[in-house]
Structure 1
Amino acid sequence: MKNLIFTLIILVTAVGCSNEPSSNQPIGEKVLLISFDGFRYDYLSKTDTPNFDKLVETGVISKGLIPIFPSKTFPNHYAIATGLYPENNGFISNSMYDPEMDAIFSMRDREAVENPDWYQGEPIWNTVEKQGKKAGTMFWVGSEAPIQDMHPTHWKVYDQSMGDSARIDTVVKWMSYDDPKQVDFATLYFHFVDSQGHRYGTDSPEVVEAIERADDLMGYLIQRMEEHGLIDHTNLLVVSDHGMANVSRERIVVLDDMIDPNDIEIIEYSPSLMANVKNGDPAAIYNALKEKEENFKVYLKENIPERYHLKNHPRVPDLLMVADIGYTINTQEFFDAREDYPSGAAHGFDNREKEMHAIFIGSGPAFRSGYRMKAFENVHLYELMADLMNITPAPTDGTIDSVSVMLK
């Protein structure tokens, strides 16, 4: 009898002290970051969204997610990934010129997108991998480049034609406990809400259909996660990079009415137009624009407002013009060549404008239930994700204190 008891004690102790849990058992909580590009903060009110509503009922929604300026796709996705403002992570817009590299970045230039020299700061997937965990990125700005000579365990080259359900199935597989390379952190990205907003405007039936499609995808994602035993052990962060504002031909700013467009080299276009001066004195061009400043604001680089967190980077050019909400800046030649331009909706406006605010929903074991919180800046999301995964963050411009109120 004594021998039997002793044997049982040894077995129980061995099981309790084992450092090798079975492969199908949860190991801590995971984080899944999901972006619906161009999903404005108020889009859930435009139609029935039962799957989003369930997440909101059991989790957290904010009154908005405030983008960094400029409120464009690449800068904001990279700000979310690094927790840094543009002047600290180098991503000042979708298009930019680096005088030290003497090179131009365009988001459609595959070579530039995959060049790590354009990316500064430490993205969250690198932080994850450096601390003994694994990450998988399904289309996220920066994840295709070997930043700090690293890639996530799993990553994909951006392919817009890849089906929505295929994206979800792939990420769920990466996260699954029966996968030998299961990840602790993953991303998902969908572009179609942004595309329909640009083309048809924020109040169009096409945007409503896109919102409903996004809701269906959330339902499918939750179903697949439930099937793989992930839903109770994963914190979901549903975000967008920016909102949208309607534009029209009736609201335009023509550069030719103020300056000779040939005197400047436009690097990034409206509504946050960035340009270097080719001919003449930057101060003279600035003064000519300033004299007729209507429906836009103009700044020399050194006078860009501090709240934009932009000017202290060598990639920022001589001039910045910021269109008032709903207005478009361009040359007469550009307008004349496109009778229907501008139309639909656009983003890139001042990030204080409510129309530029994005969506944030947090749901999972770490989040409070049914909590509503004020709008907050997206640079705090990196710190939030690091906290959720119990990893040490790299230096950022965000703080966990700014968002910890949403956690249990």
Structure 2
Amino acid sequence: MGRPAVLLTVALAILPTCGTGAPVQRQRKLLLVSFDGFRWNYDQDVDTPHLDTMAREGVKARYMTPAFVTMTSPCHFTLVTGKYVENHGVVHNMFYNTTSKVRLPYHATLGIQRWWDNGSVPIWITAQRQGLKTGSFFYPGGNVTYQGEAVTMSRKEGILHNYKDEKEWRENVDTVMKWFTEEGVALVTLYFGEPDSTGHRYGPESQERKDMVKQVDRTVGYLRDSIRHHQLTDSLDLIVTSDHGMTTVHKKASDLVEFHRFPNFTFQDIEFELLDYGPNGMLIPKEGKLEKVYAVLKDAHPRLHVYKKEDFPQSLHYAAHPRITSLLMYSDLGYVIHGRVSVQFNNGEHGFDNRDMDMKTIFRAVGPSFKAGLEVEPFESVHVYELMCQLLGIVPEPNDGHPATLRPMLRSGSAPRLGRGPPLTMAFLGILMVLVKFTKH
């Protein structure tokens, strides 16, 4: 076989690899860790040596602004799609159907495929379609299929799961390390339900919350030790972040937001309601009652902000989705919405305007791709998806983030080149055509 024929054979052998998404250099691994409800300044009244070390050795944002609405499922899905909530459609922690009136709690909603698979493809599926294995450990949205495809490796917590068990936290970290080292997984999203649960129960200024932040910090230390133990330091990038912050609820205020006490308002005018879930609410008035209900509610309480869907602030990127009802509302920081009766008793809550500082959250990153000792200005969580795609070397889906926003965090030349895509395939086809022409002469 002559040299041109050999070159042609090699090109033909390489070409299929471009279509499968195999990276053109050694694949970097990525671990995204979310500690639910970790407010941006929780490390300022608690000693957090491991988070501090992570910041010194990597990148720290002054704070990160979550998406609105500042709830667990919507904000977590923004992180893995790079889309604002109105564009990915996971608009609430609860599944609801305005026709059947069905409303399901958070845990049940985690397993409802049609709530999550709403046209947007999260990063797990995008990475898998480009040749990588992925994993989701308790991460919201990671236990359903998208366009018929499931995450390679996944775990879902039970309905009575104890979010506070530190021993289990370490076991979960151990499992994730095995996924990286034994299963060939390139991307894992790992979720912890704290300090959110403790913040809800005891309040964000409580000693119990401070103790839980210490547990979070110990877990970050254990995680980084595990990365070193499994010899992943030079290949794994670690991002530690959260979905939203937390604020103290004014439970004993003299001006509680209580629908059952509003003059001239009656639930007899309402076809569908989604109230009593923190500071947010949705209503569908009965036919012909929209203007009447809106007129009653828009000035019913100085702490309550009520909008027709089309008038909701566009800057919040929330109301344009079809799942949003004709009337929607949110209350001021620290005030929750009570519907037919006053049933909300949490000492801490989130779901408020994402511009409120108490809703801001953390961002830390360390690993071979990240600069060391860098503190960056605040940014929106919608940009994290593009960063993760750069780290993995995959082509992102259409999204609302911008690839340049977080690129300054990265070392020069650190992120892998894209592993697939039309330009690369066309380049090889061009080479192939030249070789074919060469072999004819």
CA distance in 2, matches of 1:292, 1:103: 28
CA distance in 1, matches of 2:115, 2:281: 24
Match of 2:249 in 1: 247
Q: Does 1:315 align with 2:327?
A: no
Find the residue that maps to 1:327 and give its secondary structure: coil
1:401 to 400, 404, 414: 404
Deviations 1:187-232 (A, max 9, x none): 1111120011001111111001100000111111111111110122
Amino acid across the alignment from 1:405: P
Match of 1:263 in 2: 269
1:355, distance to aligned residue in structure 2 (A)? 0.4
Match of 1:198 in 2: 200
Would the alpha carbon gap of residues 343 and 138 (structure 1) be closer, same or farther in structure 2, given more than 3 Å must change?
A: closer
1:102, distance to aligned residue in structure 2 (A)? 7.8
For the aligned residue pairs, the C-alpha RMSD in angstroms reads 2.1
1:104, distance to aligned residue in structure 2 (A)? 4.5
CA distance in 1, matches of 2:359, 2:299: 28
After superposition, where does 1:148-227 map in structure 2 within 5 Å? 148-159=147-158, 160-161=161-162, 163-176=168-181, 179=182, 181-227=183-229
Find the residue that maps to 1:294 and give its secondary structure: coil
Between stretches 268-277 and 126-135, larger displacement belongs to 268-277
Give me the TM-score of the superposition, normalised by structure 2.
0.81
Match of 1:3 in 2: none
CA distance in 2, matches of 1:118, 1:130: 18
Amino acid across the alignment from 2:195: V
After superposition, where does 1:3-402 map in structure 2 within 5 Å? 27-98=26-97, 104=103, 106-109=105-108, 113-116=111-114, 118-120=116-118, 121-159=120-158, 160-161=161-162, 163-176=168-181, 179=182, 181-251=183-253, 252-256=256-260, 257-258=262-263, 259-264=265-270, 265-268=272-275, 269-278=277-286, 281-331=289-339, 333-335=340-342, 341-402=344-405
1:54, distance to aligned residue in structure 2 (A)? 0.7
1:374, distance to aligned residue in structure 2 (A)? 1.4
Residues 117 and 145, structure 2, Cα contact 8 Å, conserved in 1:
no
Q: Which runs of 5+ in 1 are unaligned?
A: 1-16, 20-25
CA distance in 2, matches of 1:371, 1:359: 14
Residues 300 and 318, structure 1, Cα contact 8 Å, conserved in 2:
yes
Find the residue that maps to 2:234 and give its secondary structure: helix
Between stretches 355-364 and 270-279, larger displacement belongs to 270-279
Match of 1:4 in 2: none
1:278, distance to aligned residue in structure 2 (A)? 3.5
Deviations 1:343-371 (A, max 9, x none): 41100001111100111111111111111
CA distance in 2, matches of 1:272, 1:129: 36
1:100, distance to aligned residue in structure 2 (A)? 8.3
Find the residue that maps to 1:307 and give its secondary structure: helix
CA distance in 2, matches of 1:212, 1:205: 11
Residues 245 and 358, structure 2, Cα contact 8 Å, conserved in 1:
yes
Residues 114 and 146, structure 1, Cα contact 8 Å, conserved in 2:
no
Residues 263 and 280, structure 1, Cα contact 8 Å, conserved in 2:
no
CA distance in 2, matches of 1:101, 1:146: 24
CA distance in 2, matches of 1:276, 1:152: 36
Residues 199 and 348, structure 2, Cα contact 8 Å, conserved in 1:
yes
Residues 71 and 243, structure 2, Cα contact 8 Å, conserved in 1:
yes
Residues 57 and 370, structure 1, Cα contact 8 Å, conserved in 2:
yes
Deviations 1:39-70 (A, max 9, x none): 00001112111111110001111121111111
CA distance in 1, matches of 2:300, 2:115: 38
CA distance in 2, matches of 1:38, 1:313: 25
Give me the TM-score of the superposition, normalised by structure 1.
0.87
Find the residue that maps to 2:297 and give its secondary structure: helix
1:81, distance to aligned residue in structure 2 (A)? 1.1
